[in-house]
Amino acid sequence: MDFSTTLNRGEIVIALDGELDEKTAAQTRDYLDKRLRESTYHRVILDFAKVSFMDSTGIGVLLGRYKKVSENGAELCVKNVNRQIDKVFRISGLYQIIKAV
């Protein structure tokens, strides 16, 4: 998994590139947690444009980051979710807590 981050007026956009699964979960979790600790923000947007696959391990990563972001009074969102990942979000109910923008 590769990452890039931009920060603009309290909004962090983190672009993910690769598969979010058991193999990349720890790396993704560590990267996201580091960025969240280093920044002041009111909204975090995860850009899924280059994420080709996500499994239940990825759901766990997102739920953990949702909790951290929410504890800071901020909002976690996703954008550019492909069909396969959109299906995972819908079936798991993630869209009920993580907004698509």
Q: What is the CATH number of the domain that holds 20?
A: 3.30.750.24
Query: How far apart (Å, rounded) are the C-alpha atoms in residues 42 and 3?
Result: 20
| Total tally of structural domains belonging to the chain | 1
What pLDDT digit, counting tens, does each position of 52-86 carry?
Answer: 999 999 999 999 999 999 999 999 999 999 999 99
Closest CA to 54 of 88, 23, 80, 27: 88
Closest CA to 13 of 50, 47, 63: 47
Please state the pTM of the whole predicted model. Answer: 0.95
Task: Report the pLDDT value the prediction gives residue 16, as an integer from 0 to 100.
Answer: 98
Handedness of CA 51, 56, 62, 66 (dihedral sign): positive
Domain that holds residue 70: 2-100
